[in-house]
Structure 1
């Protein structure tokens, strides 16, 4: 059973969903708003969102339902969000390691997954911010939306309902860890292409080879050869 709740405005759907979990018993509990005022990203980053133009969505699922590692769950979340958007737009959509979603070289989704214990149950709290109708990103040159990248205007409520139904269905039967890794790497942004990276404030060319089961990214660097990196140790410039 799944449920989807709506708030007219909130600071962060990842924070607010805990209040709903105190009273609801669904296997999949979703919360969304079109006006998130203090969205959070990975490692303390903020996620700015224009009111009534984008979707902030969080899905809470019990960790006991998933017999995979946290890294695998993170990867699989990125995969199914990528798949949903690829089917919706009929365009190539990629995953920028570790879990941003890229459409036509612009970031259109940021994902934040946390684990929380609420009333003796452990949950994966899957939060994602979707740029849907926003058409101005000021100085954020690598950000875009479904509108800017496809020219299509999606109705926010309909978009969210389809998203929620798709994710909950895909999470009921997840693939093996090997299949998750293969699918993640198949859709990895800039894989096997020469790219520019920033490492300790210095730039160097390199080629992304693959992500591994430990959450690390392997890059063949022009000067240093094949190296592995964890998030925030290296920055892809695009």
Structure 2
């Protein structure tokens, strides 16, 4: 089921994973902590986490096990993390493009996927920060499993179940079309009127779909159907 390593504290599990890959020959190696001090999000964003309340988990998987594109691998990863949390909470869980996980309109998971070459092997480095027991946040759109469900989950049990679930789902990747369809079927605020900020200013729009290249297509109120890459547009919610 892959190597699983616990760290009492670290700056970033995505950074720490490299030193474990130097010694482990497994195609699946994981590092996790409940006290990450300098978590990183997508495109240089930070990911703050209260100690002993949340999970920072990074899984390294050998890219030779997968034939899909990087964008589709990102979609699939976000989808299976969503699936795990939807099963656990028995609640509707959505994916905010490109890969934040939303529960009852609050972000509870941030995902950072990087590609690294270590010991002449290429790996997908899948980092996920999951808010589990934290109750107060500096930003209004953040939440946790506790705030959104009222349930207190045991951290160690959560990690064990989460790790086993990801291992099982990463053994076999579905077809490219199934990945795209599943991602879009769980897309946050799809086919709903939303407010966006981009270079043209603030405008209403409707998310229609995400494509195989990793772009999102939004029908803007004034400018019609357009595609955007991450950081080119911001959904306000």
1:103 and 2:93 correspond = no
Within 5 Å, which residues of 2 pair with 1:87-236? 87-138=87-138, 140-200=139-199, 202-236=201-235
Partners in 2 of 1:134 and 1:26 — Cα distance? 33
In structure 1, the partner of 2:84 is 84
Q: Structure 1 segments of 4 or more deviating over 2 A?
A: none
| 1:215-236 deviation per Cα after TM superposition (whole angstroms, max 9, x unaligned) | 0000000000000000000000
Deviation at residue 200 of structure 1 after TM alignment: 2.2
CA-CA distance at 1:3 after TM superposition:
1.4
Structure 2 segments unaligned to the other structure (5+ residues): none
The equivalent residue for 1:52 is 52
SS at 1:60's partner residue?
strand
State the Cα distance separating 1:114 from its structure 2 match: 0.3
The within-5 A match list for 1:24-63 is: 24-63=24-63
Aligned residue for 1:71? 71
- Inter-partner Cα distance in structure 2 for 1:181 and 1:224: 25
Query: Which residue of structure 2 aligns with residue 14 of structure 1?
Result: 14
| 1:115-153 Cα deviation digits (max 9, x unpaired) | 000001000000000000000003x01000000000000
Deviation at 1:173, TM superposition (A): 0.6
Secondary structure (helix, strand or coil) at the match of 2:163 reads helix
Aligned length: 237
- In the superposition, the TM-score normalised over structure 1's length comes to 0.98
Question: Counterparts of 1:158 and 1:14 in 2: how far apart (Å)?
Answer: 22
Distance 1:182 1:38 in 2: 34
TM-score of the aligned structures, taking structure 2 as reference length: 0.99
Secondary structure at the aligned position of 1:178 is classed as helix
Measured at CA, do residues 162 and 197 of structure 1 come closer, stay the same or move farther in structure 2, by a change above 3 Å?
same
Unaligned runs of 5+ in 1: none
